[in-house]
Amino acid sequence: MMLHEKTISELAAGLRAGEFSSVELTKHYLERIAAHNEALNAYVTVTEERALAQAAAADQRLVAGDATPLTGVPLAQKDIFCTNGVRTSCGSRMLDNFVAPYDATVIERLDGAGAVMLGKTNMDEFAMGSSNETSWYGPVRNPWNTELVPGGSSGGSAAALAARLCAAATGTDTGGSIRQPAALCGLTGLKPTYGRISRWGMIAFASSLDQAGPMTRTAEDAALMLQAMAGFDARDSTCAEEPVPDYSATLGEDIAGLKIGLPKEYFGEGLDPEVAKSVEAAVEEYKRLGCEVVEISLPNNHLAVPAYYVVAPAECSSNLARFDGVRFGHRCEDPKDLEDLYKRSRGEGFGAEVKRRILIGTYALSAGYYDAYYLKAQQVRHLISDDFKKAFEQVDVIMGPASPTTAFALGEKSDDPVQMYLSDIYTIAVNLAGLPGMSIPVAPAEGKPVGLQIIGNYFDETRLLNVAHRFQQATEWHKAGPSGY
Ligand code: GLN
């Protein structure tokens, strides 16, 4: 088996057994990046020197016997996480010149576990998008078919992992940005419970929704990544002070008798019939594993996208106010006066989608509209959380599609924001409620990957990971990769 075909757990075993070193493994990945990245545009920065230094240090740790399962394993980091001494662009011209002076907690923890950072991955500008077409660095292409989008906003991480240009990657998910690209690229993606992972040093889009998480080939690997990333951090006041369980310990436990809820709202109009077939076939597999399936209802799900497109822009308009060409970000040439400096710096630094969101957000927050839009959206958010609360009185997990369609063509939705926003119709409610959600690959539709979404109750990542793992023990879909890599 080629090195890049191995999962994290296989790599960890090989590294410990001395079958190969982290330096060899890292060089192998760097060569693959050199060969394939230009066509895919998945990495915006490759940190070769840093990677080789980390790999050499990891090799020493392995010899010394103080390695974690991630020690020496090459990862890709979404360019939304601040990385000390390395450009952190967030996919924006605004931060094209920004070299972070510190590491995000996520980076600090993965570094601390001994992982190797290969580079920073492309993303939709400030994580706003579902196709990775809003990046200042140009679109990312889907390795399964380069005419198609990889999904977004963690599209660079997804494409890099699908093309085996890293062993695993980080992503962030505000409305679906881990689960939807995982679905479109045939990967395992986990958005943990809000507060499970520190947001410190992760550039904020919508602070009450943003959550980091792993993108991996298997649920087993997701457990290893989450183990390193999760936990309390005093520097993020919304980070939960919940104990971190051993996520790998319960993998493989029997799931017979598990109650799965299928929301009828997730299987209605708008769902591609081919995607529906693949998701239904996956549910049949769960029945064979002894699970019980019941129909449930999430009656307010149709309000999730509209509520999100008030809450997320409102928060982003406030978070992005700091990028003014003075404190942070791109500064225009020869400003006439202060107002000109603000206007032109922001005008030049932000792309069209980001500007659209800032305008919507400031509008929704302005006097006279606040009650009508922002307050209303917050009320709807409550109703959506209550729907889930009721559902979890009845079932253990909820399943459905992660995305209404498979990967679509580049350019197909980029002129139609509403169509683009509907890509997240099954994922957004999960962020509004703060719940954990996963996407795992199931049977492809017309040769294109399909993701099954599994939603759990608060801090029930352990169960989600096991439910995903049991499926992966019984099936082979997660092993499929695009040809040519
Ligand atoms: N696609 C959604 C948006 O554009 C979600 C993005 C995300 O999760 N970061 O806002």
User: What is the C-alpha to C-alpha distance for residues 241 and 325, in angstroms, rounded to an integer?
Assistant: 36
Strand partners, 260: 293, 397
Q: Is the CB of 128 under 6 A from ligand 1?
A: yes
Residue found by looking up tokens 């399943």 in the block: 399
Q: Is the CB of 424 under 6 A from ligand 1?
A: yes
pLDDT, one tens digit per residue, over 76-131 is 999 999 999 999 999 999 999 999 999 999 999 999 999 999 999 999 999 999 99
Chain centre distance of CA 82 = 16
In this prediction, residue 72 carries a pLDDT of 98
- In the DSSP assignment, the letter for residue 408 is P
In this prediction, residue 328 carries a pLDDT of 81
User: What is the C-alpha to C-alpha distance for residues 219 and 471, in angstroms, rounded to an integer?
Assistant: 9
- pTM (predicted TM-score): 0.98
In this prediction, residue 382 carries a pLDDT of 98
Q: Is the CB of 175 under 6 A from ligand 1?
A: yes
Residue of 132, 149, 153, 360 with the most ligand 1 atoms within 8 Å of its CB, for mutation = 153
- From the CA of 177, give the closest atom in ligand 1: 8
Q: Is the CB of 304 under 6 A from ligand 1?
A: no
Asked if residue 274 belongs to a domain, the reply is no
pLDDT, one tens digit per residue, over 173-226 is 999 999 999 999 999 999 999 999 999 999 999 999 999 999 999 999 999 999
332 CA → ligand 1 middle, Å = 28
Structure tokens at 395: 């079932």
- From the CA of 431, give the closest atom in ligand 1: 8
Q: Which residues contact 269 (CB under 8 A, 6 or more apart)?
A: none
Tally of domains in the chain = 1
In this prediction, residue 311 carries a pLDDT of 98
Which residue type occupies 95? L
Asked if residue 318 belongs to a domain, the reply is no
Residue found by looking up tokens 């010394």 in the block: 64
Blockwise average pLDDT, block size 10, the chain, 485 residues: 95 98 98 98 98 98 97 98 98 96 98 98 98 98 98 98 98 98 98 98 98 98 98 97 97 98 95 98 98 98 97 97 91 96 97 98 94 95 98 98 98 93 96 98 97 98 98 98 95
Question: Is 21 one of the catalytic residues?
Answer: no
- Taking CA atoms only, the protein residue closest to ligand 1 atom 5 is 175
Residue found by looking up tokens 């020496």 in the block: 72
Structure tokens at 62: 């392995």
Asked if residue 452 belongs to a domain, the reply is no
Consecutive H or E run containing 107: helix 105-112
Asked if residue 395 belongs to a domain, the reply is no
Chain centre distance of CA 355 = 23
The closest of 327, 348, 352, 326 to 337, measured between CA atoms, is 326
User: What is the C-alpha to C-alpha distance for residues 204 and 318, in angstroms, rounded to an integer?
Assistant: 10
- Measure Cα distances from 425 to 91, 151, 175, 400 in Å: 24, 14, 9, 11
CATH code assigned at 97? 3.90.1300.10
- From the CA of 127, give the closest atom in ligand 1: 9
Q: List strand residue ranges (DSSP E) for 247-365, in order.
A: 259-263, 292-296
Strands 292-296 and 188-191: unpaired
User: What is the C-alpha to C-alpha distance for residues 197 and 447, in angstroms, rounded to an integer?
Assistant: 34
Q: Which residues contact 66 (CB under 8 A, 6 or more apart)?
A: none
206 CA → ligand 1 middle, Å = 10
Which residue type occupies 269? E
Which residue type occupies 55? A
366 CA → ligand 1 middle, Å = 23
Q: Is the CB of 129 under 6 A from ligand 1?
A: yes
Question: Is 78 one of the catalytic residues?
Answer: yes
205 CA → ligand 1 middle, Å = 9
Structure tokens at 158: 């997804």
User: What is the C-alpha to C-alpha distance for residues 296 and 211, in angstroms, rounded to an integer?
Assistant: 26
In this prediction, residue 327 carries a pLDDT of 84
Catalytic, out of 78, 120, 191, 448 = 78
Asked if residue 174 belongs to a domain, the reply is yes
Residue of 124, 149, 316, 430 with the most ligand 1 atoms within 8 Å of its CB, for mutation = 124
- Measure Cα distances from 184 to 15, 133, 408, 442 in Å: 31, 14, 9, 11
In this prediction, residue 1 carries a pLDDT of 81
Asked if residue 9 belongs to a domain, the reply is yes
Asked if residue 56 belongs to a domain, the reply is yes
User: What is the C-alpha to C-alpha distance for residues 262 and 461, in angstroms, rounded to an integer?
Assistant: 19
Question: Is 448 one of the catalytic residues?
Answer: no
Structure tokens at 112: 């601390």
197 CA → ligand 1 middle, Å = 18
Asked if residue 286 belongs to a domain, the reply is no
Q: Is the CB of 437 under 6 A from ligand 1?
A: no
- From the CA of 174, give the closest atom in ligand 1: 8
Q: Is the CB of 182 under 6 A from ligand 1?
A: no
- From the CA of 178, give the closest atom in ligand 1: 8
Sheet holding 259-263, edge to edge: 43-46, 116-121, 74-78, 168-172, 212-216, 188-191, 437-445, 448-455, 397-401, 259-263, 292-296
Integer-rounded Cα Rg, in Å, for the chain is: 21
- 3-class state of residue 400 by DSSP: strand
Strand partners, 441: 451
111 CA → ligand 1 middle, Å = 27
Q: Which domain holds residue 183?
A: 3-258+465-479
